[in-house]
Chains A and B, each alone.
Chain A
Amino acid sequence: DGGITQSPKYLFRKEGQNVTLSCEQNLNHDAMYWYRQDPGQGLRLIYYSQIVNDFQKGDIAEGYSVSREKKESFPLTVTSAQKNPTAFYLCASRRGQGLTDTQYFGPGTRLTVL
């Protein structure tokens, strides 16, 4: 987990509210990723960014938005359009364009919709 921080650790949201999950890395990594984890479904890719000011949709981008204004930061906003947002959210980063580079993960944020 070292080098990638996610906050908050636990987050509670009322239905209809947007919430933003923070992800910061001090590893000087170019690429950053957001995954969602649900029991029995593994990790599903929401969005990823390979360079500042650029990002791509993953497999389940609907109801989510991101920005990449700084190299070290990749916040994820869960919008009210996401119908089932309760899940464990994991941020990851990777050094650069090298295909062999290892992807490292943050400690995660658990989001619960009340």
Chain B
Amino acid sequence: AQSVAQPEDQVNVAEGNPLTVKCTYSVSGNPYLFWYVQYPNRGLQFLLKYITGDNLVKGSYGFEAEFNKSQTSFHLKKPSALVSDSALYFCAVRTRSGNTPLVFGKGTRLSVIA
């Protein structure tokens, strides 16, 4: 069974500081990994995904994520946080074997303080 854990319900960071939102996963075999962002009362917006290749994936709005197979992690990062980055972030995983739907974590609320 696939599962995703986002160990922090809330992350607070000062504007201009680097931010990290953590994600660990559990799948059989190699995963496909995704990050989405959700603003209040809106749908989810796709940020980036890891398919294969370079472990550092760059995405929208200056975000990047690092795939670490040994630690089964896919943490989302940004070098300098903006107040406008404040939102709810979701990590998701899909196994490479079988066409199964994405499995989402419970989300992490990021608050960037000016």
Contacts and interface: CB of A to CB of B under 8 A. Distances in A.
B99 A100 contact: no
Interface string A8-39: 00000000000000000000000001010000
A97 B43 contact: no
Contact of A50 (B49, B94, B99): B99
B99 A99 contact: yes
Interface stretch (A62-70, A77-85, A102-110): A102-110
Interface residues of B, number: 23
A99 B99 CA distance: 6
Contact of A48 (B32, B49, B101, B107): B101
Q: How large is the interface on A (under 10, 10 to 19, 20 to 34, 35 or more residues)?
A: 20 to 34
Contact of B104 (A4, A42, A107, A108): A42
Contacts of A4: 43
Contact of A42 (B41, B46, B101, B106): B106
10 contacts: A33-B101, A41-B106, A42-B104, A43-B44, A48-B101, A50-B99, A92-B44, A99-B99, A103-B102, A105-B43
Interface of A: 1, 4, 6, 33, 35, 40-43, 45, 48, 50, 58, 88, 90, 92, 97, 99-100, 102-108, 110
Interface of B: 9, 32, 34, 36, 41-46, 49, 51, 90, 92, 94, 96, 99, 101-102, 104-107
